[in-house]
Structure 1
Amino acid sequence: MMLKMNIKMLVLMITVLVLVPSNVSAEEEKSEFAKDAKAAILIESNSGEVLAEKNSEEQLPPASMTKIMTMLLIMEALEEEKINLNDKVIASERAASMGGSQIFLEEGEEMSVKDLLKGIAVASGNDASVAMAEYLSGSEEKFVEKMNERAEQLGANRTQFQNATGLPAEDHYTTANDLALISKELLRHKDILSYTSIYEDYLRKGSKKEFWLVNTNRLVKHTKEVDGLKTGYTSEAKYNLTATADREGMRVITVVMGADTPSDRNKYTMELIKHAFDQYKYVVLQKAGTPLGDIRIEKGAAPVAKATLTEDAAVVVPKNEKADSYKVKVDIEKKLTAPVKKGTKAGEITYYDGKDKILTKQLVLEKEIKTANWATLFKRTVSTMTGHSKK
């Protein structure tokens, strides 16, 4: 009897010994991403879906990844035509005095917005960042207020900026998740990639002060799919990298914070990118530009306009799964009053998997509609009264 019990206990012990390492190994495998970094996240850029993460809500110093928000505000000002790429910016004494990474602006030096943006995106110029902050808002302090306001608007609620550069400052922090949100918004301005994808270039070319720019993000040289976004380093923050890569229409964003070495941050970033492209596929439900309904334009030169998608309505699914047939609900505004600009919000399209909402995309006007002149409005009124109006 005792012998049988001992044999049973031995079998049980062997089973436990076999199973426990197996379970630990599975858990270790789940946490392999950015193993020794403080935090990381991987998202699909269009939907914002999180594909992998580690401590993504931990508040940490971002170092020069701060400049992702600086570049976003610059790109938005360009889109709104508040500034122009050819505008000349005069460097202040304060901008020229910035330490750390810089493009060596001199006080009173004049440089175009285009070149300053290049200096920020490629060389991580602190002086270029402050010069642009002052140009846009009058002072870096006022620009920082806009940075924090914009972060709040984007839902980056665990972020607080104290400067436009990422130089060490008390209470200057963000999270991997918030940086991914800010980066997602920046990438809506596709022109930014023409700067962040540059590996080397020159400023002041041909002059005595010619300056060679080399991208702090070495992955843009060595990995064809990577075309941005921003590195960061201080002794407190350690080595950081927010990257973006595109393969066959699927764009991903990675954030790695607090790696021990530059090679570690690059390795962790590439592991995340590889995971995304190996394990997931990008399924387009409706292409950008697809007309999804008409909206009445009151007093418009054209009585109706098309409501369209500005970007693909798409989902990310594991490669071994099929995208289901989703139910679609389109809600379009009943009317808008002219004049209305191209891109004015016109409604939403929502996709459901059963009762579960999986995706909502904004619909906008396909083109600008100006106010109709008096003669057109009069003719339209007469047609309506006589029953000959056209829809």
Structure 2
Amino acid sequence: MRVRAQDVPAESELYAKSAVLMDADSGRILYEKNGHEAMANASTTKILTCIVALENCDPASVVTVSKNAASQPKVHLGMHEGQQFYLRDLLYGLMLESYNDCAVAIAEFAAGEVQGFAALMNAKAEELGCEDSYFITPNGLDAKDDAGFHHTTAADLAKIMKYCIKESLKSDEFLEITRTAQYSFSDAEGKCTYQCTNHNAFLQMMEGALSGKTGFTGTAGYCYVGALQREDKTLIVALLACGWPNNKTYKWSDTRKLMNYGLEQFKKIDLLQIEPDEAELAPIEVRDGQGGKIGETVYLKLVVRNYAGEESILAPLSSEVTLRYEIADRLYAPVKSGDYIGKIRYMLGEETLAERCVVAGETIGKIDYPWCLGQVLRLLWIE
């Protein structure tokens, strides 16, 4: 089956103002609609809050609630100042119910204050290569300061989710939390009991759903970031401004459409299994090189080494990876074993996916007087 133009979702077919479909293994964007436009992203922020907290804190720690945390608007757990909770339980409240007070309590515990935690969030985003993200709050509520407004892009949000589920040393803990359907806990003193239900409906919508986080504010609209793994593909969808009230289900429609597009219209290509053509690596002429006899043409053996780049990609069904050989036609002596001769580029269209170095497989000296004299003497001795 070949990819047809109409198989690619048209921008008009998606409700979201900004959308990205990403291959989570390579980080390649397979589809985007305004994917690099900076927009408010509501509670999808909390995936970054969660992973930063997991990486910087012990989940068994006890968190004491501040007046600021207790005063956060709905949706909230309803904690009160001075109440204590285990950090692990607050992380479940953060990700399953999207509690805003849990987010602030976590941030203040991890960094002493919300601003300090925001600095950790922005540092992590920069580390991940996010190109246009700025985080002010740990809960994603609309906010502005002298440096700008709380925002990200669909491309950056997908990149953060990729890190959360595949790259962080705390990925397993992140997935355990975000895939839990129901969770019950008490405060540290055991006086109050709480029940959390996971509001990521996508977990029951498609086979292989891994994780996700919803979000909504008046500025951001409905937002979503989610991941799915099926067979040899791991896909991430990020949606921003996907409708406003009375359009709550738009995000699920867009998510299914993009996930199915990725599953049905892309194939996995293992680049490491594509071997160079031996004919393209035939020995090349070395001029002025020392050979077996005076006047003989000398040829240099080539060796392929050092693979660098993507190891596998998702590519449209109709596409093929080609190898582009950039190797000199001839060389001039002297040549040392291991000298760089050229490279092989793995190409998808005009995009370079990976490269391998081609080096000299032997040493060939330059013709000089002592070598010529030796050859003459050898001939005379033989005769």
Q: Residue 52 of structure 1 corresponds to which residue in structure 2?
A: 31
Counterpart AA for 2:60 = N
Pair 1:107–1:28, CA change in 2 (3 A)? same
> 8 Å contact 2:212–2:227 — kept in the other structure?
yes
Equivalent residue of 2:97, what SS? Answer: coil
Worse-matched range after superposition: 165-174 or 39-48 = 165-174
Q: Residue 62 of structure 2 corresponds to which residue in structure 1?
A: 88
- TM-score after normalising by structure 2: 0.67
> 8 Å contact 1:93–1:107 — kept in the other structure?
yes
Q: Residue 135 of structure 1 corresponds to which residue in structure 2?
A: 109
Q: Residue 215 of structure 2 corresponds to which residue in structure 1?
A: 232
The yes-or-no answer on 1:177 pairing with 2:155 is yes
Q: Residue 6 of structure 1 corresponds to which residue in structure 2?
A: none
Partner Cα distance (2:311, 2:94) in 1:
32
Partner Cα distance (2:61, 2:7) in 1:
53
Partner Cα distance (2:72, 2:320) in 1:
53
Equivalent residue of 2:241, what SS? Answer: strand
Partner Cα distance (2:142, 2:85) in 1:
26
> 8 Å contact 2:8–2:261 — kept in the other structure?
no
Q: Residue 359 of structure 2 corresponds to which residue in structure 1?
A: none
Counterpart selection for 1:197 from 150, 163, 179: 179
Counterpart AA for 2:179 = S
Q: Residue 264 of structure 1 corresponds to which residue in structure 2?
A: 250
> 8 Å contact 1:43–1:253 — kept in the other structure?
yes
Worse-matched range after superposition: 205-214 or 101-110 = 205-214
1:230-249 superposed Cα distances (whole Å, 9 cap, x missing partner) = 11101221111001010013
Partner Cα distance (1:34, 1:58) in 2:
19
1:276-300 superposed Cα distances (whole Å, 9 cap, x missing partner) = 111112344569xxxxxxxxxxxxx
Counterpart AA for 2:260 = K
Higher relative contact order (CA 8 A, sep 6+): 2
> 8 Å contact 2:268–2:315 — kept in the other structure?
yes
Equivalent residue of 1:108, what SS? Answer: coil
> How many pairs are equivalent?
286
Partner Cα distance (1:93, 1:351) in 2:
61
Partner Cα distance (1:153, 1:141) in 2:
18
Partner Cα distance (1:91, 1:326) in 2:
60
Partner Cα distance (1:195, 1:64) in 2:
16
Q: Residue 243 of structure 1 corresponds to which residue in structure 2?
A: 226
Where does 1:43-122 land on structure 2 (aligned, <5 Å)?
43-77=22-56, 83-122=57-96
Shift of 1:65: 0.9
Partner Cα distance (1:253, 1:33) in 2:
20
Q: Residue 122 of structure 2 corresponds to which residue in structure 1?
A: 148
Where does 1:22-41 land on structure 2 (aligned, <5 Å)?
30-32=9-11, 35-41=14-20
> 8 Å contact 1:33–1:271 — kept in the other structure?
no
Shift of 1:315: 1.6
Shift of 1:356: 6.1
Percentage identity across aligned positions? 28
Q: Residue 186 of structure 1 corresponds to which residue in structure 2?
A: 164
Larger Rg: 2
The yes-or-no answer on 1:277 pairing with 2:277 is no
1:138-159 superposed Cα distances (whole Å, 9 cap, x missing partner) = 1111111121222222221211
Shift of 1:207: 5.8
The yes-or-no answer on 1:158 pairing with 2:129 is no
- TM-score after normalising by structure 1: 0.66
Counterpart selection for 1:358 from 348, 353, 361: 353
Counterpart selection for 1:221 from 188, 204, 211: 204
Shift of 1:129: 1.1
Counterpart AA for 1:268 = D
Partner Cα distance (1:26, 1:283) in 2:
21
Partner Cα distance (2:231, 2:116) in 1:
41
The yes-or-no answer on 1:315 pairing with 2:313 is yes
Shift of 1:172: 1.1
Counterpart AA for 1:107 = E
Shift of 1:184: 1.4
Pair 1:326–1:127, CA change in 2 (3 A)? farther
Equivalent residue of 1:274, what SS? Answer: helix
Segments of 5+ residues of structure 1 without an aligned counterpart are: 1-24, 78-82, 288-311, 328-349, 361-391
Where does 1:379-390 land on structure 2 (aligned, <5 Å)?
none
Shift of 1:123: 1.1
Equivalent residue of 1:60, what SS? Answer: coil
Worse-matched range after superposition: 103-112 or 165-174 = 103-112
Shift of 1:351: 8.8
> 8 Å contact 1:34–1:256 — kept in the other structure?
no
> 8 Å contact 2:11–2:33 — kept in the other structure?
no
Equivalent residue of 2:60, what SS? Answer: coil
Shift of 1:96: 1.5
Q: Which runs of 4+ in 1 moved over 3 A?
A: 25-30, 205-208, 283-287, 319-327, 354-357
Partner Cα distance (2:5, 2:320) in 1:
26
What value does the CA root-mean-square deviation take over the aligned residues? Answer: 3.0
Shift of 1:34: 5.5
Partner Cα distance (1:87, 1:270) in 2:
38
Partner Cα distance (2:192, 2:322) in 1:
59
Counterpart AA for 1:75 = L
